[in-house]
Amino acid sequence: MLNAIRKGESFVPNLKGKNFLRLTDFSPEELSWLLETAIQLKKTQKQGKQQPFLSGKVLGMIFEKSSTRTRVSFEVGMMQLGGQAIFLSTKDIQLGRGETIADTAKVLSRYVDAVMIRTFGHERIEEFAEHATVPVINGLTDLHHPAQVLADLLTIYENKGRLEGLKLCYMGDGKNNMAHSLLEGAVLTGMDITIASPAGYEPDKEIVSQAKKKADRSGSKILINDNPREAIEMADVIVTDVWTSMGQEAETKERLEKFAPFQVNEDLCALAKEDFLFLHCLPAHRGEEVTAEIIDGSHSAVFDEAENRLHAQKAILKVLLAG
Among candidate residues 22, 118, 255, 299, the one labeled active-site is 118
What gap in Å lies between CA 67 and CA 290, rounded to an integer? Answer: 21
| 20: DSSP letter | B
| Half-sphere CA count of 228, side-chain side, radius 13 A | 23
Annotated catalytic residue 241:
yes
CA 16 remoteness from chain centre: 20
The strand order across the sheet containing 222-225 reads 222-225, 192-196, 167-171, 237-240, 277-280
Considering only CA atoms, which of 289, 274, 280, 302 is closest in space to residue 243? 289
Binding site per annotation, positions for carbamoyl phosphate: 67-70, 94, 118, 145-148, 281-282, 309
Annotated catalytic residue 131:
no
What gap in Å lies between CA 234 and CA 166, rounded to an integer? Answer: 10
E runs forming strands in 90-212? 114-118, 136-140, 167-171, 192-196
Bond from prior residue into 283 cis (ω within 30 degrees of 0)? yes
Considering only CA atoms, which of 226, 232, 47, 247 is closest in space to residue 143? 247
Annotated catalytic residue 204:
no
Among candidate residues 22, 145, 280, 299, the one labeled active-site is 145
Among candidate residues 269, 309, 311, 313, the one labeled active-site is 309
Among candidate residues 22, 142, 148, 180, the one labeled active-site is 148
Annotated catalytic residue 145:
yes
Among candidate residues 241, 269, 280, 313, the one labeled active-site is 241
Annotated catalytic residue 281:
yes
Annotated catalytic residue 118:
yes
Binding site per annotation, positions for L-ornithine: 177, 241, 245-246
Binding site per annotation, positions: 67-70, 94, 118, 145-148, 177, 241, 245-246, 281-282, 309
Active site residues: 118, 145, 148, 241, 281, 309
